[in-house]
Amino acid sequence: MESAISVRKRRSTPHTNFRLASFTKQFTAMAVMLLVHDGKLRYDQTLTGIFPDFPAYGKAINIRNLLNHTSGLPDYEDLMNAVEKQRVRCGRPKTDSRC
């Protein structure tokens, strides 16, 4: 793991990936809950109901599943190959193989 000092010395670019991990989950959940409160989303609304082009398996996943971490969706990093993971960690665009 990099130290905070080495991370601080890097310049941010439009391709910089700020690895926030689970830090923002509670803010995203609260934003979704506010959308439900305002009537813009429903807890029982499915992913395909919100995103019509989402794959068919989204018919079985609703907002409540996402908030409760019971959707069954895999971690997106588990789906990435090793090269792509390295590029994401380095904060470089896909066309740049340096790290």
Q: DSSP letter string over 18-71?
A: ---GGGGHHHHHHHHHHHHHTTS--TT-BHHHH-TTS-GGGGG-BHHHHHTT-S
Which is the catalytic residue, given 12, 22, 71, 97? 22
Neighbouring C-beta atoms of residue 63, cutoff 10 Å:
21
Catalytic residue list contains 22? yes
Question: Which active-site residues does the annotation give?
Answer: 22
